[in-house]
Structure 1
Amino acid sequence: MTAIDTGTPTPPDLSGKNLSARRAFANRAATLGIGLCVLVAAFPLGLVAYEVISRGASVMSWDFLTEVIPRNYRTAGPGMGPAVVGTLLITGMAALIAIPVGVLGAVYLNEYGKSNPLARFIRTMADVMTGVPSIVMGLFIYVGYVLVVGEQSGFAGALSLACLMLPIVIRSTEEMLRLVPDELRQASSALGARKWRTTLGVVLPAASSGITSGSLLAVARAAGETAPIIITVGLTYIYKPDLFDGQNTTLAAQIYRNAARPFEASQERAWGAALTLIAIVFLFTILSRIIASRFAIDKR
């Protein structure tokens, strides 16, 4: 029985089984090179993680996370409680300032401004702010807020961290909004929805996973900043749960404060604070992945 020729071309074999010896060797060499580059990049990260965990785990305890900071650098023992609370409070206030403003700014750039001169200027300034050193943001808030008010405070530190987070939130949110298919906007408009309603009810929910992930990554990045905190908040071991009071501190500031001292007790506290800060950043990163995955599952 003769097979019938349907005229459909046979798809090429892309499995790599029929490659020539030279191409197979080049493929293996490229794969090996990529693997070596990954190992080279991961090696210093692994060393840093090992050093921080091995040195910081020895002082890690519940008392270390909750007790007050010793006034004497030579004193061993707890704790970093004020720095942990201060990090969460100042970073949280910075997120409350930067995330809504950044998301709304990205909505304007992608949905309304498009390519007009103002939108292009905002994009350019956001890109410039992304590369500005953090100490410049601290100096800006110090001159524009601290000198005007006359006192360093946790709110000033939150403003400086918000300035660091803002361009990251704007650019990441705008990229997520660009990935939303235009067909969704057109369908909403065809049903009679106004542009603001389409943006609020269709576009933002469709990009919510990427927006959430980018925002939490910006929060994680800001939580580890030291220079703007030292300039706007200062170095202290006392803490009051008031953002507008001068007695505030963060883990990053305490790492700098204790690591600069030659005493073994202060060095141990610095390693413990470093491990705590890395754990907080790690939790933020994992939380962003979980939220992004949850939203992606819900959309399917």
Structure 2
Amino acid sequence: MSASPAAVSGSAPAAPARPAPPEWGRVRAGRRTADKVLIVGCTLATALGAIVLGSILLMLIIQGVQGFSPALFTHVTPGPGSEGGGIANAILGSLVMTALGIVVATPVGVLAGTYLAEYGRTSHLANLIRFLNDILLSAPSILIGLFVYTLMVRPMGGYSGWAGAVALAIIATPVIVRTTEDMLRLVPGTLREAGAALGAPLSIVIRSVTWRAAQSGIVTGVLLALARIAGETAPLLFTALNNNSWFSPNLMGGVANLPVMIYQFALSPYENWRQLAWAGALLITVTILGLSIVARLVLSGPKGR
């Protein structure tokens, strides 16, 4: 029996050639029509969303810029029917409560996210924590305000900046937990194995290797959480409320803040108050936009890649 040419030469038989994909002109007319309809629909939906968001932003800029002046950042909020004034006390109150909230939420969120990614992983406790974290992440902020009102405001006998900071911390924590866990899971396992091969315990590997590798992502999560709580109004209505003067250094009593000030002044019948509300809304929008841009720049930086 004679051997085949492929066996004689010792080479493997050639793989059968794959058929070339059909050209666009050979696609059925119904599919081409459906593709064009989908493209037009997506384009129109995108244009509609851009027009609506652009109109809101344009109106906010036009109305808000009219209220900008040096007094806006140096004077306290005026009384009913008064002229002039500013929102300096509201700006300072928002900065203080937001800073306290993020200071409390950051270590809790980072450590919880580290446990889920490094220690708990697929354990029942970790799955339960993830489930509860998802609930907090999507829970209405007004429920957080009611919870803190029952937990702190009523026992303390009044509103306070401390209660507002706690409410903001509860809202920010799930965002940091989720971002930290996701960023740590993206770290290659070979880095952990290299640290373990040198005899380092897991705690040293996490601090010296894993956290450093995911540093930009963790910072991005903190910035996103900061942007999330900077404009929250509902929880502050039940915790810090508002004040038309400088708040007490111990943060007891009503504490002025931008979100509640904007809400109250926008509904008032006084033109001066409504103008200050527009200016405050523009200020807080620019702040959140700036934080979002910084977060994206950090995430797209050399370490984020």
Fold shared per TM-score above 0.5: yes
TM-score normalised by structure 2 residue count: 0.87
| Pairing 1:192–2:199 present | yes
Q: 1:165, 1:219 within 8 Å by CA — same for their partners in 2? A: yes
State the 1:121 CA deviation: 1.1
Percent of aligned pairs sharing the same letter:
36
- Residues 163-212 of structure 1: CA deviation (Å, up to 9, x unaligned): 11111111121111111111211122112221111111111111122211
Instruction: From the superposition, tell whether residues 117 and 261 of structure 1 become closer, same or farther in structure 2 (CA, over 3 Å).
Output: same
- Residues 2-61 of structure 1: CA deviation (Å, up to 9, x unaligned): xxxxx79999989x8887585666555444333222222222211211121111110112
| Pairing 1:49–2:57 present | yes
Instruction: For 1:50, give the aligned amino acid.
Output: L
State the partner residue of 1:38: 46
| Pairing 1:70–2:50 present | no
TM-score normalised by structure 1 residue count: 0.88
| Pairing 1:219–2:254 present | no
Instruction: From the superposition, tell whether residues 63 and 10 of structure 1 become closer, same or farther in structure 2 (CA, over 3 Å).
Output: farther
1:141 is aligned, of 138, 145, 148, to 148
State the 1:241 CA deviation: 6.2
- For 2:33 and 2:167, how far apart are their aligned partners in 1? 53
- Residues 53-100 of structure 1: CA deviation (Å, up to 9, x unaligned): 1111101122212211112x2223230111111111110110000111
2:277 is aligned, of 270, 274, 280, to 270
Instruction: For 2:221, give the aligned amino acid.
Output: G
- For 2:87 and 2:104, how far apart are their aligned partners in 1? 26
Q: 1:153, 1:247 within 8 Å by CA — same for their partners in 2? A: yes
The alignment of Structure 1 onto Structure 2 pairs a total of residues equal to 292
- Residues 249-298 of structure 1: CA deviation (Å, up to 9, x unaligned): 1100101111121121111111111111111111211221232233xx14
- For 1:217 and 1:19, how far apart are their aligned partners in 2? 48
Q: 1:217, 1:284 within 8 Å by CA — same for their partners in 2? A: yes
Q: 1:239, 1:247 within 8 Å by CA — same for their partners in 2? A: no
| Pairing 1:168–2:175 present | yes
- For 1:77 and 1:266, how far apart are their aligned partners in 2? 9
- For 2:15 and 2:70, how far apart are their aligned partners in 1? 70
Aligned pairs for 1:149-298 within 5 A: 149-240=156-247, 242=249, 244-294=251-301, 297-298=302-303
Q: 1:157, 1:233 within 8 Å by CA — same for their partners in 2? A: yes
Q: 1:238, 1:247 within 8 Å by CA — same for their partners in 2? A: no
Q: Which runs of 5+ in 1 are unaligned?
A: 1-6
Instruction: For 1:39, give the aligned amino acid.
Output: A
Q: 2:217, 2:304 within 8 Å by CA — same for their partners in 1? A: no
- For 2:228 and 2:243, how far apart are their aligned partners in 1? 23
State the partner residue of 2:9: none
- For 2:298 and 2:48, how far apart are their aligned partners in 1? 31
- For 2:159 and 2:88, how far apart are their aligned partners in 1? 20
What is the SS of the residue equivalent to 1:69?
coil
State the partner residue of 1:130: 137
Instruction: For 2:48, give the aligned amino acid.
Output: V
- For 2:295 and 2:221, how far apart are their aligned partners in 1? 8
